[in-house]
């Protein structure tokens, strides 16, 4: 079991979607989103109570452990300081203590479920774009692979879309 991250673009609200008993769409090219419990502001620009038709999507899977390791590496790569919290020293904690900065919305977000809406997706895509030339490809292949995968989902979602963590 792991984390699936899916980017969607060109979302259009569906007036009367066909849903199953759990509230999930029955039709292909229709999706529903859920807010991350502690991060509803991350889905800004999207009404998570609605179902949406989408034009295109990109998805990848990663283990929770690899994603958490990668987020720590990303926080260090982006220049956040290492901060001690709950007996652990991590760069992610440094990112979580500020109100803005590169990749901050991804570093201070649920790893298990939630949605990042179009506004935050555009900002994150700009962050990935700006840092792309500095990614250490040969030395840290897992880091480079996950950086590329996240760049792709946010590149798609920047076009009136969203990124779903599920």
**Percent of the chain scoring above 90 in pLDDT:** 89
Rounded CA-CA distance 28/6 in Å is 15
pLDDT in tens, 84-123: 999 999 999 999 999 999 999 999 998 889 999 999 999 9
The domain limits of the chain are 3-165
- The predicted-structure confidence for 139-152, as pLDDT tens digits, reads as follows 788 999 999 999 99
Say whether 150 sits in a helix, a strand or coil: helix
72 has a pLDDT exceeding 90: yes
User: Judging by beta carbons within 10 Å of its beta carbon (0-12, 13-18, 19+), is residue 128 exposed, middle or buried?
Assistant: buried
Per-residue pLDDT band for 61 (boundaries 50, 70, 90) equals very high
**pTM exceeds 0.85, yes or no:** yes
Q: How far apart are CA 137 and CA 21, in angstroms?
A: 45
Nearest to 118 by CA among 149, 166, 157, 153: 157
Q: SS3 for 136?
A: coil
Q: Residue 84: in which H helix or E strand, if any?
A: strand 83-85
Is the pLDDT assigned to residue 1 strictly greater than 80? no
Q: Are 121 and 129 within 8 A, CB to CB? A: no
Task: Classify 117 as helix, strand or coil.
Answer: coil
End-to-end Cα separation, the chain, in angstroms? 11
């Amino acid at each position: 079991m792991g984390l699936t991250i899916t980017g969607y673009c060109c979302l259009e609200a569906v007036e009367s979607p066909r849903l199953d008993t759990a509230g999930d769409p029955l039709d292909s090219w229709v999706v529903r989103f859920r807010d991350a419990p502690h991060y509803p502001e991350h889905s800004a620009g999207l009404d998570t109570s609605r179902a949406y038709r989408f034009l295109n999507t990109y998805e990848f899977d990663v283990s929770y452990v690899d994603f958490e390791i990668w987020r720590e590496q990303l926080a260090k790569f982006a220049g956040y300081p290492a901060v001690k919290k709950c007996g652990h020293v991590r760069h992610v904690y440094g990112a979580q203590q500020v109100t803005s900065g590169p990749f901050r919305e991804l570093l201070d977000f649920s790893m298990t479920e939630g949605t990042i809406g179009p506004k935050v997706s555009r900002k994150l895509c700009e962050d990935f774009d700006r840092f792309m030339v500095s990614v250490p490809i040969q030395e840290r292949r897992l880091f480079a692979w996950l950086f590329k995968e996240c760049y792709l989902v946010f590149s798609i979602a920047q076009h009136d879309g969203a990124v779903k963590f599920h």
